């Protein structure tokens, strides 16, 4: 592994699932590289909830189950629960930076588990820059290259 710890925001997964052309290639490569354990990736159970909501809204249980198998079966990705420490930090980040609660939880998950970066295409995480650095998927991939 590279020694880099990064938290993956929900939109990285959605870019791939929804085949969002602008971000598809870079987000797909981030997910491929985390699956190959080329870096230590983490994500929050909040991301799992956000992803499941879309499948549950369309009653697509097979696709939902396939996604969950991929998330929980990835060699380099850890799906982390929201513990007391993470919840308290998320509240502080929300108050200090005005983050939406899901974004605050994602950022807090990263911070409490040693991530220095959050991979995202969401400008809503920009205010948290003093605590964790938001980077796009393509910027993150450039960091991984020797």
List b or e across 63-99, with b for residues whose CB sees 16 or more CB atoms inside 10 angstroms: ebeebeeebeebebbbbbeeeeebeebbeebbeebeb
Q: What is the pLDDT along the chain (146 residues), one digit of tens a residue?
A: 568 999 999 999 999 999 999 999 999 999 999 999 999 999 999 999 999 998 888 888 898 899 999 999 999 999 999 999 999 999 999 999 999 999 999 999 999 999 999 999 999 999 999 999 999 999 999 998 86
**Which pTM does this prediction carry?**
0.93
Give the contacts of 139 (CB within 8 A, at least 6 positions apart).
none
- State the fold for domain 5-122+136-144: Rossmann fold (3.40.50)
How far apart, in whole angstroms, are the C-alpha atoms of residue 51 and residue 61? 12
């Amino acid at each position: 592994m590279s020694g880099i710890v990064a938290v993956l925001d929900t939109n990285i997964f959605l870019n791939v699932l929804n085949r969002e052309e602008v971000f598809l290639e870079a987000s797909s490569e981030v997910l491929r590289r985390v699956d190959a354990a080329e870096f230590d990736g983490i994500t929050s159970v909040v991301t799992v909830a956000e992803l499941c909501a879309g499948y549950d809204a369309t009653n697509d249980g097979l696709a939902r189950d396939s996604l969950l198998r991929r998330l929980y079966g990835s060699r380099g990705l850890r799906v982390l629960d929201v513990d007391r420490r993470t919840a308290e930090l998320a509240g502080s980040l929300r108050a200090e930076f005005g983050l939406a609660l899901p974004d605050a939880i994602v950022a807090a998950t990263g911070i409490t588990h040693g991530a220095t970066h959050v991979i995202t295409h969401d400008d809503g995480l920009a205010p948290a820059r003093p605590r964790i650095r938001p980077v796009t998927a393509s910027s993150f991939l450039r960091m991984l290259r020797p």
